[in-house]
Amino acid sequence: MDRESHSKRSWRPALTLAALGVVFGDIGTSPLYAVKETFSPDHGIALNAANILGGLSTVFWALMIVVSLKYVVLIMRADNRGEGGIMALIALALSAIKGQPQWRVPLLGIGIFGASLFYGDAVLTPAISVLSAVEGLEVGTRAFRPYVVPIAVVVLVALFAFEASGTAAVGKLFGPIMLTWFIALASSGMHGIAQAPEVLAALNPVHAFGFLSSHGAASFIVLGAVVLAVTGAEALYADMGHFGKAPVRLAWFGLVGPALVLNYFGQGALLMVKPAAVQNPFYLLFPGWALYPMVALATAATVIASQAVISGAYSLTKQAVQLGFLPRMTIVHTSAREMGQVYIPGINWVLCGAVLVAVIGFGSSSRLAGAYGVAVTATMLVDTLLTFFVIRFGWRYPLLLSLFATGFFAIIDLTFFSATLLKIADGGWFPLVIGSAIFLLMSTWRRGRQVLFERLRAESVPLAPFLKSLFLEPPLRVPGTAVYLTATPESTPHALLHSLKHFKALHSRVVFLSVEFLDVPHAAFEERLTCERLGRECWRVRVRYGFMNRPDVVRALEACGAVGLEIDFMDTSFFLSRQTIVPVPGRGGMAFWRERLFTAMARNAGSVTDFFNIPANRAVELGTRVEI
């Protein structure tokens, strides 16, 4: 036990360094724009010492309450077998309310909407981060102004083009680069504080209360900018499974949190001494000789932050596919060692296009800032609501304690969200449109699958009676093994019915294979595979995966050898049913336009053979027509 504890402690520094490069990129690059937007002259609040202290105090306590207390202390406890993220939280909440079925549909709707908004975040984070980093060139000379957007476009296109090669090689550099970045944030912040030490008075929450209560509607508008300081907080929870809770917490409390606070206060001190620096307090905090090196370092840091968010979009998409919220997609595993490292070409280039539209359309980080906060605050509010159900029904805490624990954070999240809604006309509509479109696709696919399975079950033939009647007058048995994939283990696969109808023969051994995805990240080994003899060399095999597992039916069938089902894959054929879905008005499943949307999604779904790792040259697809 002592040796094991020592081993964990010895790995912790390496994991903490790695976490710096993956978990904290988004929130770590917030100083590039958060202070500038908080004290923007457009808010109509005078840039005097009292208001600077009030604004800084609001930023500081937002970090302490939202990041430290809510995510690091509370929500990171709600892990789904070690995994975090909104999909894991949805699955955990749904598992917690099994005895309260009336909550299932509302929770699914809330959870899917929160997951959908993440894609808006995945578009805006690369756009605002890289654009704000490149804008540092303008601080040195105005001559660079016409080239800021083109340079940002080039950097972003290169980033998305590189995604196909995976991040395993350069990932080792992410941690050291971000370590250098946070050291630079802390040192520049301390240099700024030394010029006006009175800025440390902002640690007193009285200044935050005074600031928020003394400027009327303007203070509420400023909250929409303050929230930029906590963007990326949900990444601490989402990436928890890759590193564990301890390294993430150690990195936050030991380096990231202090570095951010020092830099924010340093920028505030600079504004006290030189109010004109509000045009770009981050870069003006550094001496002239350090400007261009910091632009280079900031660009590298924002690329790392963007890459982490993009990878998060891949991971979320993979989980959504396996949980039945999105159709199958081509998923490329870019690392033989880390199954979490995936690349989804379709998502990559759709995101790339959306990011370029945002950069070119908005044109500056200040204009993007108005759009950024809406998706982030809405996702945070969804996290809080889902956490309540985990605490109340999963952990079985008393109702009053559960309400207090999450209600406090819900009020703060709702306040921030309401403040960002004021900027809908200034760009806040952009992530909401993206999120709403993804929500429509997810909910339509989920409901469409339910309708499809209901139709298939209604038209299906129970397997056990069918086999019994079939072997009363056995068909011709031909050599080899036939594997029939079916989503309904108790029903006869349509592919088998078509095969018997056309070939008048049955393979000498028949396997009915069903694959089920559980609402846990990783299925336990002992529950992953079930093999059942049905007699006459017929078998029923059920394979279960978690939503983080990589489905591989060939490996699953190889494991069946332990119970007597030895399969020679050179003598095996896989029979798949391909449904031709026909929307019919008035059937009562969904609105006709949604049925047509579902049909289009199903028609363009990825290959079954690729998704389940079935040898394409051993697969036979037989079609069937299904009306919904």
Instruction: Kindly indicate the confidence band of residue 509, based on its pLDDT and cuts at 50, 70 and 90.
Output: very high
- 527 in any annotated domain: yes
Tell whether 452 is covered by a domain.
no
SS3 407: helix
**How many CB atoms are closer than 10 A to CB 145?**
11
Query: Is residue 32 a contact partner of residue 302, using CB atoms and an 8 Å limit?
Result: yes
The pLDDT assigned to 338 comes to 52
d(CA 151, CA 156) in angstroms, rounded, equals: 9
Compute, in degrees rounded to 10, the torsion defined by CA atoms 463, 464, 468, 469: -40
List pLDDT tens digits, range 524-538.
Answer: 777 789 999 998 999
Q: Per-residue confidence at 16, pLDDT binned at 50, 70, 90? A: confident
Residues 403 and 309 in one domain: yes
Q: How many residues does the chain have?
A: 628
Q: Do residues 38 and 123 both lie within one domain?
A: yes
Q: Are 160 and 310 contacting, i.e. CB atoms less than 8 angstroms apart?
A: yes
Q: Do both 497 and 538 map to the same domain?
A: yes
d(CA 284, CA 289): 11
Mean pLDDT of the chain: 87
| CATH code of the domain in which 431 resides | 1.20.1740.10
pLDDT in tens, 585-625: 877 678 889 999 999 999 888 888 888 989 888 898 887 77
Amino acid at 515: V
Give the strand pairing for 505-517 and 476-485.
parallel
Percentage, residues of the chain above pLDDT 70: 95
Query: 481 pLDDT band (50/70/90 cuts)?
Result: very high
Clarify whether residues 161 and 217 are in a common domain.
yes
Matching residue, tokens 């949805």: 90
Together in a domain, 242 and 286: yes
Last residue within a domain, chosen from 447, 471, 504: 447
Band (pLDDT 50/70/90 cuts) for residue 1 is very low
Q: Residue 3: which pLDDT band, with cuts at 50, 70 and 90?
A: very low
Between CA 382 and CA 484 the distance in angstroms is 40
Per-residue pLDDT reduced to its tens digit, 224-261: 889 999 988 888 888 777 677 888 899 999 999 999 99
Query: How many angstroms separate the first and last alpha carbons of the chain?
Result: 58
CA distance 12 to 250: 9
Q: Would you place residue 170 in the very low, low, confident or very high pLDDT band (cuts 50, 70, 90)?
A: low
415 occurs within a structural domain: yes
- Euclidean distance between CA atoms 187 and 26, whole angstroms: 20
pLDDT at 313: 87
Instruction: Note the pLDDT of residue 282.
Output: 95
Clarify whether residues 433 and 525 are in a common domain.
Answer: no
Position 4 pLDDT exceeds 60: no
Residue 270 in any domain: the answer is: yes
Q: What percent of the chain has pLDDT over 90?
A: 46
CB contact at 8 A, 576 and 619: yes
**What pLDDT shows up at residue 172?**
65
Cβ 103 vs Cβ 255: under 8 Å: no
Arithmetic mean of pLDDT, 425-441 = 90
Same domain for 433 and 348, yes or no, is: yes
Tens digit of pLDDT for each residue in 543-565?
A: 999 888 889 999 999 989 888 88
Q: Which two tokens stand for residue 550?
A: 């990589």
d(CA 554, CA 548): 18
**Same-domain pairing of 438 and 541:** no
Give the lowest-confidence range in 143-152, 218-227, 332-341: 332-341
Token pair 């979490």: residue: 340
Q: Dihedral sign, CA of 302, 305, 307, 313? A: negative
The answer to the question of residue 455 being in a domain is no
Q: Report pLDDT for 340.
A: 54
Q: Give the mean model confidence (pLDDT) for residues 6-35.
A: 78
Alpha carbons 283 and 367: distance in angstroms, whole number: 19
Q: How many domains in the chain?
A: 2
Closest CA to 239 of 48, 24, 41: 24
Tokens of 28: 């770590």
CA distances 611 to 332, 549, 551, Å, are: 10, 12, 7
For residues 542 and 532, what is the distance between their CA atoms, to the nearest angstrom?
9
169 has pLDDT over 60:
no
Asked if 211 and 349 sit in the same domain, the reply is: yes
Domain match, 507 and 549 both = yes
- Whether 348 and 164 have beta carbons less than 8 Å apart is answered as yes
Distance CA 57, CA 259 (A): 16
Question: What tokens does 559 get?
Answer: 């494991």
Residues 437 and 572 in one domain: no
pLDDT of residue 469: 92
Cβ neighbour number for residue 416 with a 10 Å cutoff: 24
Domain coverage including residue 54: 2-447
Residue 453 maps to a domain: no
Least confident residue range of 1-10, 237-246, 300-309 = 1-10
Where a domain ends, among 420, 447, 474?
Answer: 447
* Single pTM value for the model: 0.85
542 - beta bridge partners?
514, 530
Per the domain annotation, does 454 fall within a domain?
no
Q: How far is CA 172 from CA 14, 178, 182, 511, in A?
A: 10, 11, 17, 45
Task: Compute how many other C-beta atoms are within 10 angstroms of the C-beta atom of residue 223.
Answer: 22
Judged by DSSP in three states, 33 sits in coil
Residue 352 vs residue 323, higher pLDDT: 352
For 499, the token pair is 């095969």
Nearest C-alpha neighbor of 486 from the set 506, 457, 529, 525: 457
Q: Which of 390, 423, 447 is the last residue of a domain?
A: 447
For residue 110, give both structure tokens: 């809330």
**Structural contact between residues 241 and 82, judged by C-beta atoms closer than 8 angstroms:** yes
Confirm whether 318 is domain-assigned: yes
485 lies in the same domain as 361: no
pLDDT, position 588: 65
Rounded Cα distance, 166 and 163, in Å = 5
